[in-house]
Structure formats: C-alpha cells, structure tokens
Amino acid sequence: LVLVVDFGAQYAQLIARRVREARVYSEIVPHTLPMAEILAREPKAIILSGGPSSVYADDAPGIDEAVFEADVPVFGMCYGFQLMAQGLGGEVAATGAREYGRTAVTVAEQGTLLADVPAQHTVWMSHGDSVTAAPAGFDVLAATAQTPVAAFESLERRMAGVQWHPEVLHTEHGQQVLEHFLHDIAGCRQTWTMLNIVEEQVEAIRAQVGDGRAICALSGGVDSAVAAAIVQRAIGDRLTCVYVDHGMMREGETEQVRHDFEEVFDVLDVVDAADQFLGALEGVRDPEEKRKVIGREFIRTFEAAQVRVFGEVVDEGAGDTAFLVQGTLYPDVVESGGGAGTSNIKSHHNVGGLPDDLTFELIEPLRTLFKDEVRAVGEQLGLPSSMVWRQPFPGPGLGIRIIGEVTRHRLDVLRRADAIAREELTRAGLDRDIWQMPVVLLADVRSVGVQGDGRTYGHPVVLRPVTSEDAMTADWARLPYDLMERISTRITNEVADVNRVTVDITSKPPGTIEWE
C-alpha cells in the first residue's frame, strides 16, 4: 500500500492511479489525517501531492515532520516537494519566478530517480515558490531555468522529490520517474493488477439499492453508458434509463442515441425537455449560473421521469428511496471542488450543479475513475466500441459553448458549425487522435468581414481541438492546416451568422477544455 497524502491537488487521484499503473496498490488520504494514523496503516511508501498553496501562505497546510522520521520512503511532488525540502532542512524561497505548464528541465545527474531519463526533457509545472537548497545528504538531480533545485534524492533515506508533476500525461518520462521511486528507491513489489472494478461495484450497488429501483441518466456518452451497464448487472430490470434532450444537444444526436442505446438498454425513456431548459436559461449569462440552472433542471426532469416510469410519487419521508445513477468521473468531482481542499474550477452539471433539495440517493460507480479507465471497463463489459470510444461531450451540452445568453437561434448556429467541424474531423480520420474539439460561439462578440462584395458583421467561432488522456490536463492539438482551412471555409460559407473561425492554442492548465 502506498498512501498519497492529498494537499488539495487537482491531481491527487491521478497520482494514485499512476501508482496503480505501476502495479502497486494506492489510496489517497487527506492531509488533515493525523500522521500517526497514516503511519499506522503501514504504507510501503508515502507520496506528498501538489497543492494550490504556497508553503509561505498563512493557511498553508503543513506536514507533521514525524513522516520524515518514520523510516518510510517518501516522494514529494510540486508542493509536496517543497514541504519535503522545508521539513528536511533545505530551503524554499519565494523567488517570484513562476512556472506554469510546459517547462524544460535539465538533468544534471540521473541518480536512481532519473535513471535513463534524457538530459533535456519537458515536464509540466505549476508553481510559484522554488527550492533553492536541497536538504543535507540529498543529491540535486535536475534544474530548470527558474528553479535551481527541481529534483533530489537520498538513497540512504529512501526519499526523493521533483518540482514538476510526473503524474500528468504531458510530462515526459513521468511514469518512468515515478516507477524508479516506487520500484528502485522504495522497493515496492509489483503485485497489484487492476482488480475487477465491475465485480466490486456490482456488489456495492446491490448492497446500496437492496430491492429498490433506480433511474439512470443516460447522456449518450461513455460514462453514463458504462455506469448504466454496471448497475444493470447489479439490479437488472429494476433500472430504467432516461435520456433527456435539453435542446442543447448536437445535430442528430438524440436520434443516434436512441438508435444505439435501445439495443443495449431495454427500456429507454426519451424526454423532450427543450422548452423547460431553454426557458430556465433565459437571461442567464454567467457560466456557473448556467451550470447550476442546468443541473437543477436535470434533476427536475428525472423526478418527473421517476413518477412517470414507476407510477408513484416517491417521497423521501415515506421511506421509499429513489436512486439516481450518474456517470460521474473523478475529474468531475475534483474540478467541482470535491477533493479535499481543492478549488472549485467549474461546477460539473452532475456534481456541483446539483440542487440542495435533492431527493435522490446517488449511485456513482465511476466516481474514482478516469475516462480511459472507464473505457477499459466498458470494453470489459462488451459495450459497442462506438459507445466506448465516443468523444466526450459535456452534460450541459452546447449551452456552455455559447459565450453569452443561450437562445434557440444561437443554438442553431452553433449546432451547424459544430456539425461541419465534426464531419471534417471524422473525414480526416482524426477522431481517435483528437480527444475532443469543442466549437465555441462567441455570441456577444461581433466582427466586420467581407463576403460576396458585401460587408458582414457576424460572430466568431473558436475551434478548441485538444489532445488528452483523462481531461485533467490537455494540450492544443496541431490540426493539419488543410483540415483547418476546410473547416473554416465551410463554416463561413454555410453558417450565415459566422464570419470568422479562430483556433484556441491554449493548453490545460492554464485554460480548461471548455470555455465555460
């Protein structure tokens, strides 16, 4: 067992999962858990995660220095690295130099931690303070332009750390470095394999639901499909799947979902709720408010569906529990501020966007997993690959891709532009290489153009093609120029209100994938 001490990192679960990929079982504990309790679990190693704070901030979470005296191997990342430096007698300085995103690192000495890692490589950083002196007895292994001590190790003490985030996809050799720590420095044995998550969940759901019934909110995406398939295994036909068309779906999507899903899930209840959602969104421009309104309307729709499907009003007080299955993933939980001490980046419609007076008890079998793990589970369950490999699409749909108020006309405009972009992406054979490519309508922005000898005064759309492994981090995708040209020409020719096509070239962080 390796314990990841979570200091409010966006990436804590990702670290745990990377450790599991290295075939060592791992769990996360909050930094507020007393060190005596952490050590009582007899971890083979402890990993100190990153966190949003500076070690100098007034409310900076500290670490009980007993962790360094327990003869347990310790690995620090980012903030955890700084805590280690500080706790072991090194120096951390608020140098004012900040490094975010892609950063070049120079390896001075490979040691054990950086064995076989190239002298120059690229890592993902997100920090303000820097370690300026390693603790006594530690070897400095690497530096960056702004950070004199970016990695260190002490084989004698079985401790090491890096300033960067080895757990994120865009850090080169990150997994290799983590495995050097786990296998070569900490001496963890490689015995863990991805347990049958399905079997575990099926048992847990049977226990939770008893002989009750559940409704599953199918969105058409892989997450809710896999969640539904797991619950179906657990409770069979006591599960009813509901698909809500909130009027913000993409072109042809509702028909396709109906077609694809009816074969897998016996009863599919399709609800046309466009009037309800769009009515509730009238005048709403703020992204968080949009998400909250949409989250609330989803629940209202499910409540109504429950009554319709099960033919009775389920009243919490009457002892009859209503279960709602959702395909919530770990990134949704983290980014909605659901991790220990994590910041709320945005309220995912199925987490932070839920109303307070929720009468459903939630079943979320995928809450600790990442998208690619969910896809692996989906394949294990034998779901069709078109379902398993579908690109992600957010629950709030095109509503959070219209910057400004959501109206029917704007939705029609965006729907057409989006359909063209997706069609061309598919035609170019890039669906699997590109994680997703939102098209965003800047509905409150206008620009002057010229078309057919006439002046136009239309709206820009933004193409947001990204590559990613789990949506926690992403890079902008280098689309071929001729593909971008085809998309641009077709959108400006075929969509009357749009006279400009732009491409977003921001990584995540600092951007997010969606614009709202």
**Binding site residues, ligand XMP, CB under 6 A:** 291, 335, 346, 348-350, 392, 394-396, 436, 471, 508, 512-514
Calculate the alpha carbon distances from 249 to 107, 338, 501 in Å.
48, 27, 21
Helix/strand/coil percentages in the chain, nearest 5: 35, 20, 45
β-pair type (454-463, 447-451): antiparallel
Angle formed by the axes of helices 371-380 and 222-235, to 10°?
Answer: 50
Which positions make up the binding site for ATP? 219-225
Cβ at position 145, least distance to ligand XMP in Å: 28
Cβ at position 236, least distance to ligand XMP in Å: 26
The amino acid present at 486, given as its one-letter code, is: R
Q: First and final CA of the chain: distance in angstroms?
A: 38
Cβ at position 322, least distance to ligand XMP in Å: 21
Nearer to ligand XMP, 275 or 288 (CB): 288
| Residue listed under structure tokens 């509901």 | 242
Cβ at position 207, least distance to ligand XMP in Å: 27
Nearer to ligand XMP, 161 or 327 (CB): 327
Cβ at position 334, least distance to ligand XMP in Å: 10
* DSSP states of 117-168: --SEEEEEEEESSEEEEPPTTPEEEEEESS-S-SEEEETTTTEEEESS-TTS
What residues form DSSP beta bridges with 76?
A: 48, 161
Calculate the alpha carbon distances from 275 to 74, 248, 305, 353, 441 in Å.
55, 11, 16, 20, 21
Residue 170 a catalytic site member: no
* DSSP states of 61-128: ----GGGGGSS--EEEETHHHHHHHHHTT-EEE--S--EEEEEEEEES--TTTTTT--SEEEEEEEES
Cβ at position 148, least distance to ligand XMP in Å: 32
Residue 165 a catalytic site member: yes
Residue 179 a catalytic site member: no
Nearer to ligand XMP, 449 or 509 (CB): 509
Cβ at position 286, least distance to ligand XMP in Å: 15
Nearer to ligand XMP, 384 or 392 (CB): 392
State the CB neighbour count (10 A cutoff) for residue 333: 20
Nearer to ligand XMP, 87 or 101 (CB): 101
Of residues 78, 188, 216, 241, which has the active-site annotation? 78
Of residues 31, 127, 153, 165, which has the active-site annotation? 165
Closest to 72 measured CA to CA, from 35, 110, 42:
42
Nearer to ligand XMP, 160 or 383 (CB): 383
Reported residue count of the chain is 516
Q: Is 23 left (phi over 0), alpha (psi -120 to 50) or beta?
A: left
| Residue listed under structure tokens 């090491």 | 160
Question: Burial letters for 190-208: b for 16+ Cβ neighbours within 10 Å, e otherwise?
Answer: eebeeeebbeebbeebeeb
Nearer to ligand XMP, 350 or 499 (CB): 350
Of residues 99, 153, 167, 303, which has the active-site annotation? 167
Catalytic residues: 78, 165, 167
